[in-house]
Structure formats: C-alpha cells, structure tokens
Amino acid sequence: MFVSGSGRFEVVLTQTRKRHVTTRIKRHTTGEKLMEKNRVRSSLGQFLFCVFSVLLCSEMSMAQDFDSAMRAYEKKEYAVALTEFTAVAEQGDEEAQLIVGKMYMIGQGVEKDSEQAIKWFKAAAGQGNADAQFFLGAMYLLPQRDTVEGLKWLRLSADQDMQDAQFLLGMAYLKGQNFAHDSVQAEMWLRLAAAHGGEFYQSQLGEAEKQMTPDQIAQAKALVAAWKPKVAAVPSAKQE
C-alpha cells in the first residue's frame, strides 16, 4: 500500500519539476514574482493534500484488512486469519504483529513455531506494545533461552503496569535462577502486581513475604510508592 502511495508522490513531484522546467526564464516584475510565489504555495498545498490523502487511505485500508482478518479469526478460520493478519503485520501494525506472534506460539492455523513467534513479538515489542513485551520476555525466560533478554522485555512490560509482567518479574527475582536473587525487587514487583487485584496475585505476595525481612518489605514499599508507570516503554540504546 505504501508502494502505491510512493508512486503517487513521484507523480506529483514529476509534475512539479515539469512546471519549473517549462517556465520561461525571464525578468520578473514585482507582480509576476508575487504570482509565482502564489503558484508555488498552491502547488505545495496540493502536494501536501495528496500526501495526506494517500496516508489516510492507507490507514483506512489497513484497518479494513485488520477487520477482515479478525472476522476470519472469530469464525475459527485460522489459516485464513493468519495470512491476512501477516499481511497487515508486515506493514508495521503492532496489534497484528502481536496476534501473529500468538498464533505461531500456540499453533493456530499453523504449526507451532517459537522462532516465528519471537520474531513477531519482537516487532510489536519494539514499538512499545506491553503485551508483546510480556510474551517475548516469557518466551526468553521460561525455557531459559536468554535470561538477560527475558528480564529486559519483562521489565519494559512491567514498567507499563502490565500485571502479569510484574508478577513474572517479581517471581524471577524471588527465585533468582541464573541471575542474582533480589528480595527487595521481588517484593516490589509482586506488590505492584497484587495492587491490580486478584486472589492469586495477592496470595503469591503473601507467600513471598514469608521469606523476607521487615526491612526488605519496607524498602520495597518505598520503591512502590515512588514508582510511576511509563507509556509505550521501548529499549534504550544501551539495552539493544
């Protein structure tokens, strides 16, 4: 879709160039200079309108394609849905990328493929999608593919106040497998997860606190009080 848009841009640019080439070289009077400026402004306005129209049509077309894919998914036509979602995902739509990642992860309309799932989760996660960051972090962490990558993506999701990412991050710090155990960080993230509600999260926090000292719990409470969620958190240059 963007290819066709690019083609339309080129047409407008070509027409603009032709206008300037065919304009006779002559000495402009003040009035003629003013008329030329107005023509340039008019051409610029038309060009910007064309650009806006192409972008708007492209967004509308992408939305229609997404809706078509969702209808197929709801009908359980998973193979069709996967094909259509993938087409939208390839255009950079983070929600479509997330869904394609999930379908590869659980094997809907296709054989399970963890590498493809990671590819699409990473595409959406790089745009700040908290759900994709959670799934990506979990896939790296739980099978112990890459603990550092797993913690990185879980932290970005947890920073956006995603409950399951906060819980899994807290449990990771509590267990301390393949990285430093940190009771204060564990308490902090488990407490943030429990704050969303849910008996399971609250019971897990209670069990975890049995392993902690009053001082560790107090430190964690201070961190929770100072914590603020981030919007669309993405990796920094140092984290890449």
Among 37-51, 140-154, 195-209, the range with the most confident prediction by mean pLDDT is 195-209
Picking from 154, 115, 158, the residue whose alpha carbon sits closest to that of residue 137 is 154
3-state secondary structure of 240: coil
Sequence-ordered alpha helix ranges (H) in 112-162: 114-125, 130-141, 147-159
pLDDT attached to residue 25: 28
pLDDT tens string 58-88: 454 567 889 999 999 999 999 999 999 999 9
Q: Which of 65, 53, 54 is nearest to 92 (CA)?
A: 65
Domain 126-240, what fold? 1.25.40
Least confident window among 20-24, 109-113, 224-228: 20-24
Residue 12 has what pLDDT? 29
- Taking residue 19's Cβ as centre, other Cβ atoms within 10 Å add up to 12
- 86, amino acid identity: T
Helix-helix angle 94-106:114-125, to 10 degrees: 160
Is-contact 91 1, C-beta < 8 A? Answer: yes
The CA-based angle 184-185-188, given to 5 degrees, is 85
Residue 92, amino acid: G
**Whole-model pTM?**
0.72
Q: How confident is the model at residue 142 (pLDDT cuts 50, 70, 90)?
A: confident
Give the three-class secondary structure for 89. helix
Domain boundary assignment for the chain: 126-240
Question: Average of pLDDT values for 215-238?
Answer: 87
Q: Which residues of 25-57 are buried (b: 16+ CB within 10 A; e: fewer)?
A: eeeeeeeeeeeeeeeeeeeeeeeeeeeeebeee
∠225-229-234 over CA atoms, to 5°? 140
Burial class (CB in 10 A: 0-12, 13-18, 19+), 77: middle
Q: Residue 114 has which token pair? A: 């963890």
Per-residue pLDDT tens for 156-211? 999 999 999 999 999 999 987 666 789 999 999 999 999 999 999 999 999 999 99
Residue 205 CA to residue 187 CA, distance in Å, equals 7
Q: Provide the Cα torsion 181, 160, 103, 148; round to 10°.
A: -30
